[in-house]
Amino acid sequence: MTTDTRYKRSDFQSGQEVKWCPGCGDYTILASVQNFLASLDVDREKHVFISGIGCSSRFPYYMNTYGMHSIHGRAPAIATGVALANPELTVWVITGDGDALSIGGNHLIHALRRNVNLKILLFNNQIYGLTKGQYSPTSEAGKRTKTSPLGSLDHPFNPVSLALGAEATFVARTIDMDREHTTRMLKAAYEHHGTAFIEIYQNCNVFNDKAFQILTGRGERDANRIYLEERQPIIFGANDEMGVVVGIDGAQIVRIDDVGLDAIQIHNPARPEPGVAFALSRLAHGPSGPTPIGIFRQVQRATYGDLMDAQIADAMAKNKANSISDLVQQHGTWTVE
């Protein structure tokens, strides 16, 4: 992304050697994020990257910004503290399907429901890559791995459905190799006030290669990528011959010639209720057929930080305190009504 700003991508590259496997999709995501941040003309010191544990969680080392490589699954909790302590910062959470949806599942859903002002990027490669190929919470049923040699019995999470179920105010999906689309999603997430959640399909070419072939392969992608564009009918296919309708039975894929263009769902991510967005997320439980990418939901709701600041200000006014320090050091009790 090239604009007339004071930064270049190289300004966001740290001196650390990038140590991912050759061909890993993480390289492309890193480049997309660095290029996007360089386009903003925002001080590098205003960005903080918090990660957990996993291949994706090496990310803060490679960013010339503030950051912290934290502990397994706890990145949303630590990032919440950073965001609340300094609202002037843009706080990015970098996590993976195993880190966020297994040990970190509880922290993730509560950050989403509270609407903390965070930008959460979940790299989903449907495998545990750092620990060498065990099945993850997003691995498909029947997946044969070192920890499921006869095939996984687990029903996988759909991260977009999970985020919508937690009533996240911004939910999107993109693909590592589609840098233009990824940049659009990053821009929308950055501009969103509240928790912005982006699932990024990311290829692990060592332990789960071509897991997203149906969406990335030259011969398959046009027939299987369902781009969600605001105020546009949801149509797709090599010749835009397919579409999506939403009714009492959920979202369904149809041939436009069979139902007519007027029957096709017009996408509205700002719809207050998440039901339609959830129905769209169920079109594909994983990348095994036509799969929506883009912004599923984008609504406004008071953030946790805004509500906390208002609560503190109210308590200070009622107790005639000039600062938080005065408030907590007062003798006796607070007045809470």
pLDDT digits (tens, 9 = 90+) for 152-180: 999 999 999 999 999 999 999 999 999 99
**Tokens for 115?**
């609407």
What whole-number distance in Å separates Cα of residue 289 and Cα of residue 96?
22
What whole-number distance in Å separates Cα of residue 32 and Cα of residue 117?
21
Task: Please state the pTM of the whole predicted model.
Answer: 0.94
pLDDT digits (tens, 9 = 90+) for 297-314: 999 999 999 999 999 899
| Sign of the dihedral defined by the CA atoms of residues 195, 93, 126, 105, in that order | negative
What whole-number distance in Å separates Cα of residue 157 and Cα of residue 167?
16
State the pLDDT at residue 2: 47
Choose the CATH number for 1-211 among 3.40.50.170, 3.40.50.300, 3.40.50.970, 3.90.1170.40: 3.40.50.970
Q: Is 165 helix (H, G, I), strand (E, B) or coil?
A: helix
* Beta bridge partners of residue 297, listed in sequence order: 171
Cβ atoms of 57 and 96 closer than 8 Å: yes
CA dihedral 295, 80, 66, 56 (to 10 degrees): -60
* Beta bridge partners of residue 293, listed in sequence order: 227
Query: Per-domain residue ranges for the chain?
Result: 1-211
Average pLDDT over residues 318-327: 84
Cβ atoms of 48 and 92 closer than 8 Å: yes
